[in-house]
């Protein structure tokens, strides 16, 4: 009898714990409804704008591509806003994002909102949006290509270390730094950089067609960076404003009346402990501000 009562008590406690967890998740769900993609407002068909953050060095396109595709397929998401705070990044990921933006624009408006910096590859990505919005002091432009290759052969020689390079292909160890770079190799790399630069210019020219003349664009494609104010004067951006000004632009393009609901990417939980701590924090403090990490130096674009 005692064992039976103990079992019932444990079962009852288990139900209470499960119920408490369910309550926490439900309350947290509604508390952060502005960032959730499956809220009651969505079920009722409220009009929304999907927010896609692009922060720091662009070294991979995977998460951004997935989010663009996800928001593009959701009927309740009427427009997408790229929130950019990046100094640039690698060539191929930026080109992948640019291409996905092109596909997305055929379905719904895409607006770019640049914060502290939206330069180089980040500007390349932003340029393909239907509208580009930034602050007067936003650092942007920097349409150019750069590659860093350290020459370490002098240090190697000084410490008396030999480096044996076994290769198949004349240029396979180009830029390794373990030997001086030949003039022929330098010209090869410069040609490569110029080809990428030309791709950059042509894509921006296509994206900004009718907003900036290609000859005028080429005149500023020397790696120079500009304030947002100067960029607007040149035709590199469409208007000056903050994040919520960009939201208004997106809402207008999408024909949304009233205040749109902003939908952020779903947060990834590391486990039950993270779920509980996150839920309790949101219950106590509401929505918290995103922690931003200062963007690193320019990489390739």
Contact 71, 297 (CB under 8 A): no
The DSSP-derived string for 86-126 is: E--B-HHHHHHHHHHHHHHHTTS-EEEEEEEEEETHHHHHH
Q: Which two tokens stand for residue 140?
A: 């942007």
Evaluated on CA atoms 131, 137, 143, 144, the torsion sign reads negative
Q: Which candidate in 86, 113, 120, 142 is catalytic? A: 120
Give CA–CA dist 136/233, Å, rounded.
11
Cβ pair 153, 243 in contact under 8 A: no
What gap in Å lies between CA 197 and CA 44, rounded to an integer?
A: 47
Cβ–Cβ < 8 Å for 37, 263: yes
Spacing of C-alpha 36 from chain mean position: 19
Residue 62 to residue 64: CA distance in whole angstroms: 6
Strand residues in 124-270 grouped as ranges (E)? 131-134, 139-141, 225-227, 239-240, 261-263
Residue 202 CA to residue 211 CA, distance in Å, equals 14
Q: Give the span between the Cα atoms of 148 and 283, in whole angstroms.
A: 47
**Residue of 167, 170, 172, 202 with catalytic role:** 172
Active site residue 120: yes
Is residue 216 annotated as a catalytic residue, yes or no? no
Residue carrying the six token digits 């701590």: 277
HSE of 62 in the Cβ direction (CA atoms, 13 Å)? Answer: 2
So which residues are the catalytic ones? 120, 172
């Amino acid at each position: 009898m005692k064992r039976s009562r103990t079992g019932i008590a444990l079962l009852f406690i288990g139900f209470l714990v499960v119920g408490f967890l369910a309550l926490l998740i439900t309350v947290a769900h509604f508390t952060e409804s502005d960032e959730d993609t499956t809220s009651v407002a969505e079920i009722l068909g409220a009009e929304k704008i999907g927010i896609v953050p692009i922060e720091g060095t662009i070294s991979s396109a995977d998460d951004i591509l997935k989010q663009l595709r996800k928001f593009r397929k959701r009927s309740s998401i009427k427009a997408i806003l790229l929130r950019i705070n990046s100094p640039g990044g690698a060539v191929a990921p930026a080109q992948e994002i640019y291409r996905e933006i092109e596909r997305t624009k055929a379905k719904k408006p895409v607006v770019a909102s640049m914060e502290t910096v939206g330069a180089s590859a980040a500007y390349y990505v932003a340029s393909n949006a239907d509208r580009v919005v930034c602050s007067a002091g936003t650092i942007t432009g920097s349409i150019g290509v750069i590659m860093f290759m350290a020459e370490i052969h002098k240090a190697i020689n000084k410490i008396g270390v030999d480096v044996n390079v076994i290769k198949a292909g004349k240029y396979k160890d180009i830029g390794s730094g373990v030997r001086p770079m030949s003039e022929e190799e330098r010209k090869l790399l410069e040609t490569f950089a110029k080809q990428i630069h030309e791709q950059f210019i042509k894509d921006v020219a296509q994206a900004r067609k009718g907003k900036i003349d290609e000859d005028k664009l080429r005149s500023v494609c020397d790696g120079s960076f500009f304030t947002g104010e100067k960029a607007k004067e040149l035709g590199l951006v469409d208007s000056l404003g903050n994040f919520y000004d960009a939201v208004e632009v997106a809402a207008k393009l999408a024909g949304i009346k009233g205040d749109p609901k902003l939908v952020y990417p779903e947060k990834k939980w590391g486990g039950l402990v993270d779920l509980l701590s996150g839920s309790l924090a949101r219950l106590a403090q509401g929505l918290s501000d995103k922690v931003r990490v200062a963007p690193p130096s320019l990489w390739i674009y």
